[in-house]
Amino acid sequence: MLRSVKGLKDILPHQSSQWQHIETVARTLATQFGFSEIRIPIFEFTELYARSIGGTTDIVEKEMYTFPDRDGSSLTLRPEGTAGVVRAVLEHSLLDSPTSRKLFYFGPMFRHERPQAGRYRQFHQFGVEALGTDHPLIDVEVIALLWQFFSLLGLKDLTLHINSIGTLDDRGDYIQRLKKFLTPLLPDLCGNCQRRYSTNPLRILDCKVPICQETTKEAPVLIDDLSEDSRIHFTDVLDGLTALEIPYSINHRLVRGLDYYSRTTFEITSPHLGAQSTIGAGGRYDGLFQALQGPPTPAIGFAVGLERVILLLTEHHSINPVPLFFIAGFGAVGKSRAFKLLHELRQSGIRADTDHKANTLKALLRSADKLGAEYSIILGDDEANSETVLLRNMQTKVQEIVTLKEITQKILANL
């Protein structure tokens, strides 16, 4: 028997209602915040990700699915969404339109990494990008959208971690102080961090390996090297969160290692996911447009791993699907009239189904149970001749007579 590739996961019919619920909440909320949806390709030229994610990162070096096109060019399945959005914005001059400066997206991403709970080689993200302004209140707005998204889903015990990594100029002296601190400690760090010492020393602070966290717990903090402008920006962001009553925790270890990242960086974590506790993260990337040969453009965004949200949703919150009405039609006249009723209910927006293979009432009700129908509408020859149906509650087994003329409105009135 053929099986799916390791690290890929089918979303089965009984799971799809949760995905639909999450996507509906995200799409509705993003629209309320003034964001418009953009849909970007699943693969791009490899150069886009090498420039945007960084050639020395684990994603580019080890995790990307890269393959040659027939013309010899190198293509890569997208490992994240921001680079593709920025490419599309530049290519189609979307910065010229005020309605295209706040964008959101959904879709699968691809990374070749070790599969574990909530982390797969094909995974799905909901993300937003706010472009064209560096005002601290847009940072607050983006964070508020993310916080409200999780709140509407009913997720509990979440923590918003936030930090400022200043500008590239702010980080110059700090990185030298950090490397001086780290030099005698290098033998105690993991292999990844020893490599990062030369290529990306800031990322050492973000390492999740316990020995590295313990070794660097006394490291200097970047916030002490912020310029006055960056310090004011960060204070204004924190004040904005306080005004909206969004709780936060300043986390000096929350960094981004590439030059185009700046100022605000944040993530939201849950204690119910173990070591991989982050369910949404983002930050300001004011230098990315220039890195992709575009004009200087301030920007901020976030991405949410939907598989991890599903894990928390399963634990904390159940989704109640729209009630299913099963049409149990039997008999020469009844079955024909029942099929017409099935169509009428669906045209009215009512979720309805039947079993065309079952011909007896007993078999039909058995099918209704298997489908998890809340109600059955029984329509045999006698009911068809009297222009009535039996509306049966499949849980209580209580049933009532309703006229065919009234059944649709009765259902709509009680949904």
**Is residue 24's pLDDT more than 90?**
yes
To 10 degrees, what angle do helices 332-347 and 404-414 make?
40
Arithmetic mean of pLDDT, 3-25: 89
Q: How far apart are CA 300 and CA 102, in angstroms?
A: 10
Percent of the chain topping pLDDT 90: 67
Task: Assign 315 a pLDDT band (cuts: 50, 70, 90).
Answer: low
The torsion angles phi and psi of 93, rounded to 5 degrees, stand at: 55, 40
Q: How far apart are CA 307 and CA 272, in angstroms?
A: 14
The pair of three-digit structure tokens given for residue 103, joined into one six-digit string: 């964008």
**Is residue 26's pLDDT more than 80?**
yes
**Is residue 316's pLDDT more than 60?**
no
**Is residue 61's pLDDT more than 80?**
no
Note the pTM of the prediction, 2 decimals. 0.86
Side chain identity at residue 369, one-letter code: D
Q: What is the pLDDT of residue 275?
A: 67
Which sequence spans correspond to the domains of the chain? 13-167+227-316, 325-414
Cα-based distances in Å from 408 to 209, 238, 323, 337: 60, 53, 14, 14
Q: What is the pLDDT of residue 57?
A: 62
Q: What is the pLDDT of residue 234?
A: 97
**Is residue 408's pLDDT more than 90?**
yes
Q: How far apart are CA 324 and CA 386, in angstroms?
A: 25
Do residues 49 and 60 touch, judged by C-beta distance below 8 A? yes
Arithmetic mean of pLDDT, 161-167: 94
Q: How far apart are CA 353 and CA 367, in angstroms?
A: 10
Token look-up 């489908």 returns 371
Arithmetic mean of pLDDT, 35-47: 96
Range with top average pLDDT, 112-116, 181-185, 241-245:
241-245
Task: Assign 55 a pLDDT band (cuts: 50, 70, 90).
Answer: low
Q: What is the pLDDT of residue 100?
A: 72
Do residues 130 and 102 touch, judged by C-beta distance below 8 A? yes
Task: Assign 320 a pLDDT band (cuts: 50, 70, 90).
Answer: low
Q: Which residues pair with 249 in a beta bridge?
A: 161
Q: What residues contact 283, with CB distance under 8 A and at least 6 apart?
A: 165, 256, 261, 263, 264, 265, 266, 300, 301, 302
Higher pLDDT residue, 223 or 386?
386
Q: What is the pLDDT of residue 58?
A: 64
Q: What is the pLDDT of residue 19?
A: 92
Q: What is the pLDDT of residue 56?
A: 57
Q: What is the pLDDT of residue 118?
A: 66
Higher pLDDT residue, 94 or 113?
94
The highest-level CATH class for domain 325-414 is alpha beta
Rounded (10°) CA dihedral 40, 46, 52, 57: 130
Do residues 91 and 41 touch, judged by C-beta distance below 8 A? no
Q: What is the pLDDT of residue 224?
A: 87
The pair of three-digit structure tokens given for residue 4, joined into one six-digit string: 């799916």
Residues shown for the chain: 415
Arithmetic mean of pLDDT, 216-240: 92
Task: Assign 313 a pLDDT band (cuts: 50, 70, 90).
Answer: confident
Q: At the topology level of CATH, where does 13-167+227-316 sit?
A: BirA Bifunctional Protein; domain 2 (3.30.930)
Q: Mean pLDDT of all residues in the chain? A: 90
To 10 degrees, what angle do helices 82-91 and 46-53 make?
110
Task: Assign 319 a pLDDT band (cuts: 50, 70, 90).
Answer: low
Arithmetic mean of pLDDT, 236-252: 95
Task: Assign 97 a pLDDT band (cuts: 50, 70, 90).
Answer: confident
Arithmetic mean of pLDDT, 342-357: 94
pLDDT tens column, 167-216 = 989 888 888 888 888 888 888 888 888 888 888 888 888 888 888 888 88
Residue among 193, 197, 208, 202 at smallest CA distance from 222: 202
pLDDT tens column, 279-291 = 999 999 999 999 9
